[in-house]
Amino acid sequence: MRVLAAMLVLMGIIVLRYGYVQLVQGDKLAARMKSLVGQEYERQSPRGAILDRNGRELAVSSMTKSLFIDPSQASKKDPDGIAADLAPLIGQSPEDVQKAIAKGGGFVWLKRFLSQDEYDAVKAYIREKELTDCLGFVDEPKRYYPNDVLAANVLGFVGSEDKGLDGVEQQYDSLIKGEVTESFLYTDSRSKPILDSIFQKQPYRGNRCKTVQLTIDSTMQFTVEQELDRAMAENNPAAVTCVVMDPKTGDVLAMASRPTYNPNKYYDYSPEAWKNRAVSFIYEPGSTFKSVVAGAALQEKVVTPNQVFVDPGYVMVSGRRIQNWNGASFGTVTFTDVVKQSLNTGFAQVGLRLGAENLMKYAKEFGFGEPTGIGLPGEEAGILFNPDDMRASDIATTAIGQSIAVTPIQLVRAMAAIANDGVVLKPHIVKSIQNADGSTYMESQREEVGRALESATDKTLVGLLEQVVASGGGKKAAVKGYRIAGKTGTAQKIRPDGTGYMEGRYIASFCGFAPVEDPQIVVLVMIDDPGTGNFYGGQIAAPVAQRIFAQLLRYLRVEPSTDPFADMEKTQREKPRPEPKKYEGEIPTGMIVVPDFSGLSIRAAAQKAAAAGLQFESEGSGTAVSQSIPANTLVEQGTSVSVTFGQ
């Protein structure tokens, strides 16, 4: 019995001891055991990469070591000696290290993102001096932009704590940001990792660290940026912006601004250089907006290409004088000439015929007055009138591209709609986003916003814009062998306080697309405040666009096309015109003799009819081939004559 009792007592003691160990000291002992067989460590996953549309790296991350100090421990040893020894290893002065120690506490950064040489030197120093209790390293991802300034204003940059601060880096920060996870590494008695533990590491499968693939083509981007640098050197402007878009998909193929910066050293530049002017700069578009007005007028049938206008050189609307870009009168012209020569007087009249409601309706249908939703931070909406608040002068000035404000990306989208048979698309800067495991998280698709113009109207408008480049104000944007359509613009800059315009300060621009028969690219070039005295869009922006068109069309391997307008003027000059027969006999009072219009252009025929006192109507295009009333016929003044034009 005594033995049994002793055994029961012993068993009770064991149970109590087991319970005490498990319940009271369990966590402490488990932690102690865990420290003997391995160690906890934090694992930092690198930030996701940013690629161009062809998979070329635009932004990548690599893991680097950052050095910290524990001032509370360092102050117990030899702080001055530590500062003197450590400073030259990390490129700092002893005073800098002493200041860090003087801050106190348990953690102070000494230097972020050490180079490999710095890391090796400090690691050896810590081991030699046995300073593991006061100096240590933290793995941090360092962002690197291998192409330096290329697409900097689109990409943005990353600040401390792996936080995106501008551009794509900011917009998609929550998706591409790295993540810190805790892991346990098994070690042997000498604290060396056990191989099985190393091999058990799994790739990151969280919801961050995604790879963003842009619609940008790095080769096209490089071409554009080279030309912008040249434009800066030639014109000495405050800034230059260019956007290249695929009109069939809405993909932005290139987007660049000058001035710019190197995102690897973003802190060396002013915030103004960080700005992506393509989406965040609003300005009066000037005559480039006339493309939209012309389309609206043709759609509403308030004008036809051959309709005749009388241009006195200026018009007065609600007490406001609106004159042509050169202050001169072009006389009797057709609407085609109004577009080709960008006549403000003609567009003011067209705008008044359209009215405020229609003018604002079409501006909105083309996408003005609201952000495009391209997916970049800081995008502006622009400024449009409320139709109810518009006076006649507001209508007239809006029709010539003043009194409203747009962004470059909005203007590019509008021109892309004209190139795309009148259909407005949503622009994209991101092509796709891939998860860390390689699966697809998101892929952008062609997205139609609406139809701004009917197909037939759009084709007519394209024909007018093609003539602008072929033989109008945009001739310097022409590329031999290719059919290009577009519109130039020259707009006076508004004062910062909005109280009028700055004298002698302009924004010159050109926006167009090519090739006309199968548009592949839309190009906008905007030169802000040129400092050379030459400020017309047709003179300084169109040549930049010409060089960009020429290089990009070759890069895209677009076959040359025949320009139907290339030899028109030469043909008209070389074609002998028959001498009109003189009317014989007396001309009664109130009667006139119908002139011979054979071989004349529309403009020349309209001017001749006006000089003779006839009402003029035209059909077709090219040169005059027939007329409703034969030449040398005696008719009353004011009689209407219709002239047919053809090739």
Q: What residue ranges do the domains of the chain occupy?
A: 41-144+173-209, 218-555, 575-646
Identical fold between 218-555 and 575-646: no
- Cα–Cα distance between 242 and 521 in angstroms, integer? 13
* Cα dihedral across residues 154, 157, 162, 164: positive or negative: negative
Are the CB atoms for 404 and 382 separated by under 8 Å?
yes
Do you find a cis peptide bond into 271, omega within 30 degrees of 0?
A: no
Q: Residue 29 above 70 pLDDT?
A: no
pLDDT tens figures, 266-312: 999 999 999 999 999 999 999 999 999 999 999 999 999 999 998 88
- And the tokens for 578? 């028959």
- Candidates 96, 71, 69; CA nearest to 84 is 96
Q: What is the pLDDT of residue 41?
A: 46
Which residue has better confidence, 259 or 28? Answer: 259
Q: What pLDDT, on a 0 to 100 scale, did the predictor assign at position 198?
A: 42
According to the model, what pLDDT value does residue 74 have? 81
The per-residue pLDDT for range 345-397, each reduced to its tens digit, is 999 999 999 999 999 999 999 999 999 999 999 999 999 999 999 999 999 99
What distances in angstroms separate CA 295 from CA 304, 359, 362, 455, 521, one per listed residue? Answer: 11, 10, 9, 11, 20
Class of domain 218-555: alpha beta
Q: Which residues pair with 620 in a beta bridge?
A: 645
The yes-or-no verdict on residue 571 having pLDDT over 60 is: no
124 compared with 545, residue with greater pLDDT: 545
Task: Answer whether residue 32 shows pLDDT above 90.
Answer: no
What superfamily would CATH give domain 41-144+173-209?
A: Penicillin-binding protein 2a (Domain 2) (3.90.1310.10)
Q: Of 61, 287, 444, 601, which one is the catalytic site residue? A: 287
Q: Is the pLDDT of residue 37 over 80?
A: no
Q: If one looks up domain 575-646 in CATH, what number appears?
A: 3.30.10.20
User: Amino acid letter at 470?
Assistant: A
* pLDDT (tens digit per residue) in 179-229: 765 554 455 554 445 544 444 445 555 677 899 999 999 999 999 999 999
Q: Among this protein's residues, is 191 annotated catalytic?
A: no
H or E element at residue 641: strand 640-646
Q: Is the pLDDT higher at 563 or at 156?
A: 156
In this predicted structure, the answer to whether residue 132 has a pLDDT above a threshold of 70 is yes
Is 80 exceeded by the pLDDT of residue 511?
yes
